[in-house]
Amino acid sequence: MRAALLIASGLTLTFTLAPAKEYLAIKGESTLAYVLIHPMHTVHGVNKDFECKVDLSPDTVTSKIRVSADVLKFDTGNSSRDSHAMEAVQSRKYPRVTFESTAIKPETDGYAVSGNLTFHGQTRPVSFHVTPKTTAKRIEITGSFDVKLSDFGVERPSLMFVRTQDKLTLKFDLFAAP
């Protein structure tokens, strides 16, 4: 009986300590985007050149997701508008936006991810739902969440003396391979 318990404990320990499998974002395919609404138009800024690392553990819930993006690489298709956005987020002072997960919990049709988002030099907790699709060679993680520019101390950009909405939607479509 004791031997059986020892074996069982050993198996559990082996499972728990099984190394997480590291996946890196496939650049060019993965996209990180923001959506910002102004009464005259909706702005979509897309970044296809960012770092993302997913440490996928066998039990999934202890997995880690880390994302780091250069704010200068978000492109709305209008250089002048991008420059204005960079001024608002003080890109020279705070050149990167990062996310690091702190908890992943299974829920209907995916997982609830919680973590810390650092933007404009300020870190705030965020949580969102992701829908992962896993194949033998790669994983795809899609999702989106909203933040408030004011929560991160960012002054809302304006055009024709009208400011954008405070809400900024962050969307991601990550393709990651080992």
Partner 1 sequence: MLKIAKPSHSLLALILLAIATGSAESVVAPPAADSAAAAGMADPLLPAILSPGEKLMWGEHGFMRAIGAYPLNEESREKELQLRRTMLTLHQLGGFITLASMVATAFAGQMIINGNESYERYKGPLAWSTVGLYFTTASLSLFSPPPVIRRPGWSSIQLHKTLAWVHFSGMIITPLLGTLIEDKHELRVFHQTTGYVTTAAFAGAMIAVTF
Interface with partner 1 by CB under 8 A: which residues?
40-41, 72, 75, 77-84, 86-87, 90-93, 95, 158-161
Minimum CB separation of residue 150 from partner 1 in Å reads 18
Q: Would you say 91 or 101 has its CB closer to partner 1?
A: 91
Minimum CB separation of residue 79 from partner 1 in Å reads 4
Minimum CB separation of residue 160 from partner 1 in Å reads 6
Q: Would you say 26 or 35 has its CB closer to partner 1?
A: 35
Q: Please say whether the beta carbons of 169 and 45 come within 8 A.
A: no
Minimum CB separation of residue 57 from partner 1 in Å reads 33
Minimum CB separation of residue 70 from partner 1 in Å reads 9
Q: Would you say 21 or 92 has its CB closer to partner 1?
A: 92
Residue holding tokens 């992701």? Answer: 130
DSSP per residue, 146-164: EEEGGGGTPPPPEETTEEP
Q: How far is CA 131 from CA 97, 108, 177, in A?
A: 22, 10, 16
Q: Would you say 72 or 112 has its CB closer to partner 1?
A: 72
Strands 122-134 and 139-148: antiparallel
DSSP per residue, 27-83: TTT-EEEEEEEETTEEEEEEE---EEEEEE-TTSTT-EEEEEEEGGG-B-S-HHHHH
CA-CA-CA-CA dihedral for 73, 77, 83, 84, to nearest 10? -120
Q: Would you say 51 or 140 has its CB closer to partner 1?
A: 51
